[in-house]
Structure 1
Amino acid sequence: MLISVIIPTLNEEERIGSLLKFLTSHPLKNRFEVIVVDGESEDKTAVIARTFDVPVYTSDPCSRALQMNKGAKEAKGDVLYFVHADVQLVPSFVNDIIEAVSKGFESGCYRFKFDNPSNPLLHINGFFTRFPFKWCRGGDQTLFITKEAFSRIDGFDERFVIMEDYNLLDRLGQEGLSFKVIAKSIKVSARKYETNSYLKVQAANLKAMKMYKKGESPDLIKKFYTSALD
């Protein structure tokens, strides 16, 4: 079983090197491939990624859903593993995913905790990711899905320039596809909370989710979200 690790990037020159170093030096690197799909970064993200001798594709226009679909089209793996550039994966991710798929799970994710939780309230966010509630999910937790299941739901809906992960999870549920929350925590960046207050981020997340549930356009949700946070 081959895993395709797909990383959508945009201006991640400070983070992408650490993730790719971890992946390209992993003792089980023969069990997975790495694909970077860059959204035409204005910094050196793509340059840095290419120094690790991994394929780097460009997506125009920049859209995470479009980038991840492009990576999936190029993928040779049986399982697709979508990973944001600013996360720290658990060393056991290869065996974890293979075990979950071997047990019949067609998709899943990890719990998470923040890499630098300066605000103690951030521990609450991480704690709730152990529960099977959809509002606890998100792309930061990384997502694995079999290529067959991904094809069955037609991948990410590229109309969603934001909330693409929640939309995909909704469609996974509608198709009755099994989902596993692996009982280990990856680390995600707390940078959004470093430039905004905890309550400000939580309020923006809540409103964006409400807009999504009401069926408001992804463009409108993105316009609100980018204006609400620094």
Structure 2
Amino acid sequence: MPNKPQTLSIIIPVLNEAPHIGNLLTYLSKNSSPHLISEIICVDGGSTDNTSAIAKKHGARVILSERGRAVQMNLGAKHAQGSVLYFLHADTFPPKHFDQIILKATEKGHKAGCFRMKFDTKNRFLGFFAWFSRINHILCRGGDQSLFVQQALFNQLGGFNETYKIYEDTEFISRVYRHDQFMVLPHYVVTSARKYHEVGWFRLQFHFAMIHLKNFFGAGPEELHRYYNKNILT
């Protein structure tokens, strides 16, 4: 019997993303193949704007959730029908034909991976750090690069650790690295530099590096969250 064709479930955690979500969903529709995508799920963590209404208008399935990206993404995965899960931020745009690229990679045996990353700015400081996203090492990973993972592997690893209020994507990816081969695809997502505009280029990058370092030396999710709240939260 022939194997069932693989399909993609796109999972987007959202919170007050009304200015961005419509543009992303329009882009996804124009740059993918409908027969390869089971659904687009927007998991809303309690938006007070019209994020959910805009997402529904653009054909996405909306699921209401408690706030927290790990909780939201796990809930989206629970409802997903596709054999491959693709976790995407609301301000990150994947490359054209991203669905074909991902599914070709999984058909070749790559169970999880991401794309390289660029920022939507010509800032050389950010461009320097984005360059490292091509390196296949856990220290170079982050949620803005997006993440694809076969649903079977996601379930086997227990999904995202919901005790992490931040750093949940890197923590999960670190378990993928320990378990299986992780693939960095040679195409680029383009992600917003809005947080760098809000916090400051150097300041934000410094504190992200400190969070990586703290995690490396054994800091737990609560300590990482406290550091984030004190130094980054705006």
> Per the shorter chain, which TM-score range?
over 0.9
CA displacement at 1:210 relative to structure 2: 2.2
SS in 1 for 2:124: coil
- The CA distance in 2 between the partners of 1:7 and 1:128, in whole Å, is 24
Deviations 1:8-42 (A, max 9, x none): 01111111011111223445122102111011012
Q: Which moved more, 1:207-216 or 1:14-23?
A: 207-216
Equivalent position of 2:214 in the other structure: 211
Deviations 1:137-175 (A, max 9, x none): 101000000011101101111111111111111211222
- Is residue 2:37 matched to residue 1:34? no
Does the 8 Å CA contact 2:31/2:97 hold for their aligned counterparts?
no
Equivalent position of 1:52 in the other structure: 58
Note the 1:47-86 alignment, pairs <5 A.
Answer: 47-60=53-66, 62-86=67-91
Instruction: Choose which of 125, 142, 145 in structure 2 pairs with 1:141.
Output: 145
Instruction: Choose which of 145, 169, 172 in structure 2 pairs with 1:168.
Output: 172
- Is residue 2:230 matched to residue 1:227? yes
Moved over 4 A (4+): none
- The CA distance in 1 between the partners of 2:52 and 2:141, in whole Å, is 28
SS in 1 for 2:19: coil
Q: Which amino acid aligns with 1:166?
A: T
In structure 1, runs of 5+ residues without a counterpart are none
In structure 2, runs of 5+ residues without a counterpart are 1-5
Does the 8 Å CA contact 1:159/1:218 hold for their aligned counterparts?
yes
SS in 1 for 2:47: coil
- Is residue 2:14 matched to residue 1:9? yes
- Is residue 2:134 matched to residue 1:130? yes
Does the 8 Å CA contact 2:7/2:84 hold for their aligned counterparts?
yes
Deviations 1:51-73 (A, max 9, x none): 1132100111x110111110001
Equivalent position of 1:198 in the other structure: 201
- Is residue 2:113 matched to residue 1:108? yes
Q: Percent identity?
A: 37
Does the 8 Å CA contact 1:23/1:29 hold for their aligned counterparts?
no
- The CA distance in 2 between the partners of 1:172 and 1:89, in whole Å, is 21
CA displacement at 1:226 relative to structure 2: 2.6
CA displacement at 1:211 relative to structure 2: 2.3
RMSD: 1.3
TM-score, structure 2 as length reference:
0.93
SS in 2 for 1:183: strand
How many residues were matched structurally? 227
CA displacement at 1:219 relative to structure 2: 2.6
Equivalent position of 2:160 in the other structure: 156
- Is residue 2:188 matched to residue 1:180? no
SS in 2 for 1:76: coil
TM-score, structure 1 as length reference:
0.94
- Is residue 2:124 matched to residue 1:120? yes
